[in-house]
C-alpha cells in the first residue's frame, strides 16, 4: 500500500573564508516549481486526503463524533444509548430519536470538518493550477472538492459556497442547494475522465477515474432529493462507467482463519480488497487516524475475551433492524446477541435509550470491522470502505426498477444476494432493493441517505419500548450549527429548527 505523503527537507549551506562570506540559501522553493513536480502535486493532494481521513472529532469515518456518526446514528441501523450506569453522552441517542438541536457537538464537528477539507481543496486547486501541474492532479483536487460539497448539501441543504480562499468567510451567505448541485455535477463531469484509471498501489485511497464516476453516480442517485428532478438514467450511466473498471464482488467462502469465518469480511479488514473496493480510507491506529467501530460496540469483558482489551460498551443494533436479516445470511455473522465470550449475555431488548438509559449488557453488538493490528484500547487499523462495487450493483438495480425495467434489475440485485447465501428474486421491487441496501451496507455510512431517498426517514422506527415516532419533514436536513450562525450572522437556520 502506498500513501502520497511528502516531506520537504530544508538544507542551509554557508561557505565562509577569512575575507568573504558567500551564502547559498536553499530554504526557498518557488511554489511554481515545487507543485509542478509529481512529488509536489502529490503533497498538495495529500494535505486534502489527510483532512478527509482526519482523526478524533474531525473525520469522514473511522474515529467518532463527526460525519459518519451524524449520518449513521440519525438512521435506523445503530444507536448508542445512554447507560443507566452514567456512561455515554446523549448526542447519539438524540440523533437516533430525531431530537437533536443545533447545539449538538457532532453537527458542529461535521460542519467544521467539511469546511476545513474544502479550504484545503481550494488551496490545492490554486497551488496546482498556478504551477501548471499535471492536469490529472488538478482534476483530482477539483473532484475532491466537488465530493465534499456534495456531502455538505446532502446534510445541510443551502450552505456557504466558495472556491477562493481569499474570501471573508464570516460574511458568505448561503448558496441554494440546487446551485451547488449543478456546480458539483459540472465539476465531476468535467474532471473525472482526466483522472488515473489505476486501481490500488499509489491510487489506493485516492480518487481515480472509477471513484470519480462513483461520486457522480451518488449525486445523480439523490438528485430527486436535491433538485426535485430524478436523474435515474444519468445515475445508471455513471454506474456503468464504474462497472467498466473491471470490478467484481469479493468472494464469500468459508474461512476458518477469519474471526467471522468467511472471506466476505476481508472487505472490512486491514486493506480493503482491490477487486471490490472503489474508494477507501487508509487507516493505521495511532499513525493515520484509527477505526473504533468494533471496540466502541463491545462490552468490556467481551472485548477483553475477543480482542484482548476492554470494549467501550457503546454502539448497539436496534432489534427491529437485526430481525430483518435472514438466518442464512452470512452478513448476520457480524452481530452478537445472547451468551458471548467473557461471560457476557447481550439482550436484544433494550429498556431505555435516554432516561434512565440502558443496562450495561442490553443491545445487540456489531463486529463487522473485527479489529486488525496494530490495535489497542483506543481503536484498530481496519481501513474504511467508502465505496464498494456491491453498492454499484444495488444502484444499477434501483435505477432499472425506478425506470420500469424490472427484469433488467434482477441480475444486479441477485449478485449481491447470492454472495450472501440468499436466493434469487425474479421481479425485484423497490422494497427488495431498499432492504438489500440495509443488509449489505450497514455500518458504512449510507443508511440515512437511503432512508430519505426511499421515503422512510420520517417514519416511526425502533423496537419496543423505544419506538421513535414519526418526524416532521424538516428533519431530513440537519440544522445549521449554532456556532456557525454566531460566527456568520448572514446565515439563516434551516426551517423548523431554533437558532
The pLDDT mean for the chain works out to 94
pLDDT in tens, 446-497: 999 999 999 999 999 999 999 999 999 999 999 999 999 999 999 999 999 9
Q: Diameter of the chain by CA atoms?
A: 91
Q: Where are the alpha helices (DSSP H) in 102-251?
A: 105-130, 135-156, 177-191, 209-221, 223-227, 232-243
Q: Which residue has the higher pLDDT, 164 or 4?
A: 164
Residue 253 has pLDDT above 90, yes or no: yes
**Residue 174's beta-bridge partner residues?**
160
Average pLDDT on 392-419 reads: 98
pLDDT in tens, 84-93: 999 999 999 9
- CB count, 10 Å around CB of 200? 17
At 30, is the pLDDT very low, low, confident or very high (cuts 50, 70, 90)? confident
Cα dihedral across residues 70, 443, 153, 477: positive or negative? negative
- For residues 11 and 333, what is the distance between their CA atoms, to the nearest angstrom? 55
Cα dihedral across residues 57, 59, 61, 67: positive or negative? positive
* In the chain, domain spans: 32-286+384-487
Residue 11 has pLDDT above 70, yes or no: no
- CB count, 10 Å around CB of 495? 11
At 14, is the pLDDT very low, low, confident or very high (cuts 50, 70, 90)? very low
Name the nearest CA neighbour of 268 among 381, 148, 163. 381
Q: Which string of DSSP letters, residue by residue, matches 15-58?
A: EE-SS-EEEE--S---HHHHTTSHHHHHHHHHHHHHHHH-BTTB
Residue 22 has pLDDT above 60, yes or no: no
pLDDT of residue 1: 37
Tally of CA atoms within 13 A in the half-sphere of 167 that contains its CB: 15
Residue 37 CB partners (closer than 8 Å, separation 6+): none
**Residue 379's beta-bridge partner residues?**
376
Q: Is 163 helix (H, G, I), strand (E, B) or coil?
A: coil
Q: Tell me the CATH number of domain 32-286+384-487, given options 2.60.40.3950, 1.25.40.390, 1.10.730.10, 3.40.50.970.
A: 1.25.40.390
pLDDT of residue 28: 59
Residue 17 has pLDDT above 70, yes or no: no
**Residue 316's beta-bridge partner residues?**
79
pLDDT of residue 27: 54
pLDDT of residue 2: 34
Query: What are residue 14's phi and psi, to 5 degrees?
Result: -120, 130
Terminal-to-terminal C-alpha distance of the chain: 46
Q: Which string of DSSP letters, residue by residue, matches 331-369?
A: GGGGEE-EEETTTEEEBS--S-SSSS-B-TTBSBEE-TT
Residue 63 CB partners (closer than 8 Å, separation 6+): 54, 55, 56, 57, 289, 290, 291, 292, 379
Residue 10 has pLDDT above 50, yes or no: no
Residue 81 has pLDDT above 50, yes or no: yes
Residue 184 CB partners (closer than 8 Å, separation 6+): 146, 147, 149, 150, 153, 219
pLDDT in tens, 271-311: 999 999 999 999 999 999 999 999 999 999 999 999 999 99
Average pLDDT on 433-448 reads: 98
pLDDT of residue 169: 86
pLDDT in tens, 318-375: 999 999 999 999 999 999 999 999 999 999 999 999 999 999 999 999 999 999 999 9
Amino acid at each position: 500500500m502506498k500513501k502520497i505523503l511528502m516531506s520537504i527537507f530544508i538544507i542551509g549551506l554557508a561557505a565562509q573564508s577569512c575575507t568573504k562570506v558567500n551564502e547559498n540559501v536553499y530554504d526557498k522553493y518557488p511554489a511554481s516549481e515545487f507543485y509542478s513536480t509529481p512529488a509536489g502535486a502529490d503533497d498538495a493532494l495529500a494535505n486534502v486526503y489527510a483532512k478527509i481521513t482526519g482523526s478524533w472529532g474531525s473525520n469522514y469515518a473511522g474515529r467518532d463524533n463527526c460525519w459518519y456518526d451524524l449520518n449513521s446514528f440519525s438512521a435506523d441501523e445503530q444507536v448508542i444509548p445512554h447507560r443507566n450506569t452514567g456512561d455515554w453522552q446523549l448526542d447519539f441517542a438524540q440523533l437516533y430519536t430525531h431530537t437533536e438541536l443545533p447545539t449538538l457537538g457532532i453537527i458542529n464537528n461535521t460542519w467544521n470538518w467539511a469546511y476545513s477539507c474544502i479550504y484545503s481543496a481550494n488551496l490545492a486547486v490554486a497551488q496546482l493550477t498556478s504551477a501548471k501541474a499535471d492536469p490529472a492532479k488538478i482534476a483530482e483536487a477539483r473532484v475532491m472538492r466537488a465530493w465534499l460539497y456534495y456531502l455538505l448539501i446532502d446534510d445541510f441543504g443551502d450552505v456557504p459556497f466558495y472556491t477562493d480562499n481569499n474570501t471573508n468567510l464570516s460574511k458568505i451567505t448561503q448558496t441554494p442547494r440546487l446551485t451547488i448541485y449543478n456546480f458539483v455535477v459540472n465539476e465531476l463531469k468535467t474532471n473525472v475522465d482526466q483522472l488515473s484509471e489505476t486501481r490500488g498501489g499509489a491510487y489506493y485511497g485516492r480518487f481515480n477515474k472509477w471513484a470519480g464516476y462513483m461520486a457522480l453516480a451518488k449525486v445523480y442517485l439523490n438528485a430527486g432529493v436535491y433538485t426535485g428532478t430524478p436523474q435515474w438514467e444519468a445515475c445508471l450511466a455513471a454506474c456503468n462507467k464504474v462497472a467498466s473498471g473491471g470490478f467484481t464482488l469479493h468472494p464469500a467462502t468459508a474461512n476458518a482463519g477469519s474471526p467471522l469465518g468467511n472471506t466476505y469480511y476481508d472487505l472490512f479488514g486491514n486493506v480493503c480488497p482491490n477487486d471490490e473496493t472503489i474508494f477507501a480510507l487508509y487507516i493505521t491506529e495511532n499513525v493515520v487516524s484509527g477505526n473504533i467501530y468494533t471496540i466502541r460496540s463491545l462490552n468490556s469483558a467481551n472485548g477483553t475475551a475477543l480482542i484482548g482489551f476492554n470494549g467501550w460498551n457503546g454502539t448497539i443494533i436496534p432489534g427491529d433492524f437485526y430481525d430483518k436479516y435472514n438466518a442464512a445470511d452470512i452478513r448476520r455473522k457480524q452481530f452478537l446477541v445472547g451468551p458471548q465470550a467473557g461471560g457476557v449475555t447481550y439482550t436484544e431488548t433494550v429498556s431505555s435509550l435516554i432516561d434512565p438509559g440502558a443496562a450495561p449488557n442490553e443491545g445487540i453488538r456489531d463486529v463487522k470491522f473485527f479489529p486488525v493490528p496494530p490495535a489497542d484500547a483506543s481503536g484498530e487499523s481496519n481501513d474504511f470502505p467508502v465505496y464498494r462495487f456491491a453498492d454499484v450493483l444495488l444502484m444499477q438495480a434501483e435505477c432499472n426498477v425506478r425506470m420500469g425495467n424490472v427484469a433488467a434489475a434482477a441480475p444486479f440485485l441477485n449478485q449481491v444476494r447470492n454472495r450472501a447465501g440468499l436466493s434469487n428474486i425474479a421481479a425485484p421491487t423497490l422494497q427488495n432493493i431498499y432492504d438489500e441496501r440495509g443488509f449489505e451496507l450497514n455500518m458504512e455510512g449510507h443508511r440515512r441517505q437511503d432512508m430519505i431517498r426511499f421515503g422512510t426517514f420520517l417514519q416511526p422506527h425502533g423496537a419496543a419500548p423505544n419506538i421513535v415516532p414519526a418526524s416532521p419533514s424538516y428533519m431530513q436536513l440537519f440544522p445549521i450549527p449554532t456556532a456557525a450562525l454566531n460566527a456568520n450572522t448572514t446565515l439563516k437556520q434551516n426551517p423548523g429548527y431554533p437558532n
